[in-house]
Structure 1
Amino acid sequence: LKRLIFIDNELKSKSYPNKKLLAQKYQVSQKTIQRDIEFLINQYEAPIEYDYKRKGYHYYREFSLNPLKLDEGDFFMLALTEKVLQQYRNSPFRNHIIKFYEKIKTLFNDEISIYSNELNDVMSFEIGPMREVNKEYFDKLEKAIREKLIVEIKYHTLYTDTYSVRKIDPYHLKNYKGDWYLIAYCHTKKDIRVFALSRIKNLKLKDYNFKKIDNIKIDEIMKSSFGIYLDNKIWKVKIKFSFYQARWIKEKKWHSSQSIRENRDGSIILSIEVNNLEEIKRWILQYGKEAEVISPKALREEIKTEFRESLKKYK
C-alpha cells in the first residue's frame, strides 16, 4: 500500500519517473515496480502511460488513488470519525489522534473534505467540559499498568482539601464522561480505590513490581457503582418518580441492576443496588420535586438536609 501511494505521488509530481528511478528511490527491483504499475492499471484503472519522448510514466488524465477502495458510506464514516475525535482534542491521545487522521487525509483529502462539509449541516457533537490531564503522568501510568509497576503519587482529596502520599498498584485507566480515572489498589487504605488523574500532583514509578489480586475483573468491580466511585457497602435504593418525570426515566437504562415498578397513577418506583450514595444523591437532586427517595433512610435524610439547606439561601 505504501509503495502504491509512493508511485502515485511520483506520477502526480509530473516528473515523468521511469522504472529504474522509482526502483532506486524505493529500494526495490524494477520488476516489482513493473508489477505495481500493472496492478494500478488493472485494479484501479489508473490512467498511466509511458511517454517515450520524456522517457517516463505519467497520468494522461486526472486521477485520484483510492487504495482502500472506500465507498460513499466509508467516506461518510471517516468524516464522522473526525468529528467524534475532535471532542477529545484535549485528551492525552491528542497528538496520536492528529497524526493518525493526517495520514488518512493524505490518502483521501478531497473526498473527506467533501463529506466533512456535508456532515456539518447534518449533525454535530458536544460533550461537557473536561478536566486537563498531565500527559506525562498518563503515559507513566499506562506503562505501570502494562509492566505491573508500583507507583507513588501525591493526591489531592477535594472533599477534605488535603494532600496525601500514596503507594498504589495501578490496575486500569477509565474514561468516564470525558474525565480520566485510575482504578488501583491503595496500600494506605488496603483496598481498591478510584483516583481522578487531574488530582494527581506528583507521580513516581517504582522499580519493583506488584502482584495483581487473583481473578480481579474491572467490570465486576465497577458493576455496583452509579458512576465512578466505589465503596464496600451495597445500598438498595428506591426512588419514586412522578407521572410527569417517569416518562423520561423509563427512556434510559440507568444501571445494570435497575428494575421499574409502575403505579396506577402513572408514577414509577425505580430500584437500584449501588455501592456509593454520593453520586446517586447528586443525580436524584437534579429532579427536584419530581423525585422522592423511598429508601434507604440514610439517603432520604441526606436529600432532606440538602433541600433544607438550599431553602435557607432563598429566604
Structure 2
Amino acid sequence: MSRSIVSTSTPHPRRVHLHAYERLRRICTEIQRGAYPTKAVLARIVERSPRTVQHDLRALVNDFGAPLAFDRANNGFYFTDAAWRLPPIALTEGELIGFFAAERWLRRLGAVSDVQLARSALRRLGALLPQEIVVDLSALEEAISFAPEPVLDASPEILRQLAAAAMRRQTLHIEYYTQSRAVWTQRDVDVLLLHNVLGDWYAIAYDHKRQAIRDFHAGRIGRLTETRRPFTPPENWDAQTYLRRGFGMFRGGRDIIVEVEFDPEQARYARERTFHPTQQRRELPDGRLRVTFETSEAALEQVARWLMQYGPQAKALRPRALRTMMKQKLTDATALYDETREADDDQNRVQ
C-alpha cells in the first residue's frame, strides 16, 4: 500500500540556495534508484539530520511538484512518475558555453594561488548543471597543475551543442575521428550524457550505426549538425549504472572484482581517495590497506596503467588476469633499463 504525499496545489518554484539544490539532487538521485530509501537513509547520504531531510522532501513536493509517495510495504519513498526529474536551474546557452570555457581556462592555469577560489566556485557551480552533464571538477581544487596533462581539448561550442542535444533529447549528426582506424566517420547519435573525466569530455550516446551505446571523445568531433529529430533514451538506460561498470572511460565485457593492496606508506594517502564508486576498504593490522571494487573485463588495461604509478607500493591481488598483465608490463619496463642491453646500445652508437 502506498501513501501519496504529492501536494495538490500548483508548485511555486522559489530561489534555492546552491547547497540546498545540490542536496535535493542527491536525494532525488537516491529515490530514483528504486531502493525505497527512508528519511534516515537519506539523512546519512546527504549528511544532514532527518528533520532537514523532511524539510527537503516537503520542498520537493511544494516547490518543484515532485510526485513523491511513501510505500508502506517497502517502508520507503519513491516517485509515482519514474520519468520525473528535478528541474535544473535555468541556464541560458550562453551561460552553458561560459561554464565550459571557464573549465578549460582554469584547467590550463594549474595551481596559480590567485585562482584557487575561482576553482572552488566553479566546482560548486557544477551542481547547477542539468543531470545530462556530469563533470568531475574536484581535481580543480587541488594544488596541482593540469598544464602538462595529455588532455585532448574540446571546444566550448561543441560542448554546448552536445549538452543542448542531451537536454532537448534530439539526435545529432556528427563527423567523428576514429582513432583506432585513423579515419573520419559519419554518425547519427543520441547523446544521453556529457561526462567529464579528469579534464577529458565524453559524449555517451546511442550510436544509430552500431545500435549500441558508445563513448565519443568530444575532442574528436570535427563537426556536428542538429537534426531536430527527437529521441527516447533506451528503456534500460541508467547513467550511474553505466558509469559504475567502467574504470575511467574503459568498460565492456563481463563484470569482475578487482582487489588491490597498498603498503603502509601509500595506504595513508589511499585512505583519502575514492578510486571507484563501488570501492570498499579493508584495514589490515600492520597498516596496509586493501581496496576492492567492481568493474568490467575491458577496463583491466586501464586498471593496470593506474596501478603502475604506485610501483612497489601497490599490489594487484585479483583477478588473475590483472596480475598476469602487471607482471608482463613490469617485465617489459625492466627490460628497458637492462644494463647489458644499454651497454650494447652504447657500443653500437660508437661504431
| Superposition TM-score, scaled by structure 2 size | 0.51
> 1:308 is matched with which residue?
331
Structure 1: any 5+ residue segments left out of the alignment?
1-84, 92-100, 102-122
1:1-315 matches, within 5 Å, as: 88-89=104-105, 126-129=144-147, 130-214=151-235, 216-275=237-296, 276-315=299-338
| Structure 1 SS opposite 2:267 | helix
| Structure 2 SS opposite 1:172 | strand
Q: Greater CA radius of gyration, 1 or 2? A: 1
| Structure 1 SS opposite 2:105 | coil
| Structure 2 SS opposite 1:245 | helix
Amino acid paired to 1:226: F
What's the offset of the Cα at 1:290? 1.4
Count matched residues. Answer: 201
CA spacing shift, 1:160–1:298, aligned 2, 3 Å: farther
Q: Percent identity between the aligned chains?
A: 27
User: Per-residue CA shift, 1:143-170, capped at 9, x if unaligned?
Assistant: 3223322222232333454443322111
What's the offset of the Cα at 1:239? 1.2
CA spacing shift, 1:164–1:278, aligned 2, 3 Å: farther
User: Per-residue CA shift, 1:226-265, capped at 9, x if unaligned?
Assistant: 2233324212001122222222212223222212233344
CA spacing shift, 1:131–1:234, aligned 2, 3 Å: same
Quote the RMSD (CA, aligned, Å): 2.8
Structure 2: any 5+ residue segments left out of the alignment?
1-100, 108-117, 119-140, 339-351
What's the offset of the Cα at 1:125? 5.2
Q: C-alpha distance in 2, partners of 1:160/1:186?
A: 17
CA spacing shift, 1:312–1:155, aligned 2, 3 Å: farther
Amino acid paired to 2:146: G
CA spacing shift, 1:250–1:156, aligned 2, 3 Å: same
| Structure 2 SS opposite 1:228 | coil
Amino acid paired to 2:105: R
| Structure 2 SS opposite 1:273 | strand
Kept in 1, the 8 Å contact 2:251–2:295? The answer is: no
What's the offset of the Cα at 1:222? 1.0
User: Per-residue CA shift, 1:174-210, capped at 9, x if unaligned?
Assistant: 2222222111112233222221101112322224222
User: Per-residue CA shift, 1:261-301, capped at 9, x if unaligned?
Assistant: 33344323221111222332221110111122111122222
Q: C-alpha distance in 1, partners of 2:209/2:237?
A: 19
Q: C-alpha distance in 2, partners of 1:151/1:193?
A: 14
| Structure 1 SS opposite 2:272 | coil
CA spacing shift, 1:242–1:125, aligned 2, 3 Å: closer
Q: C-alpha distance in 2, partners of 1:160/1:293?
A: 32
CA spacing shift, 1:278–1:162, aligned 2, 3 Å: farther
User: Per-residue CA shift, 1:92-148, capped at 9, x if unaligned?
Assistant: xxxxxxxxx9xxxxxxxxxxxxxxxxxxxxx99555145321233223222322332
| Superposition TM-score, scaled by structure 1 size | 0.56
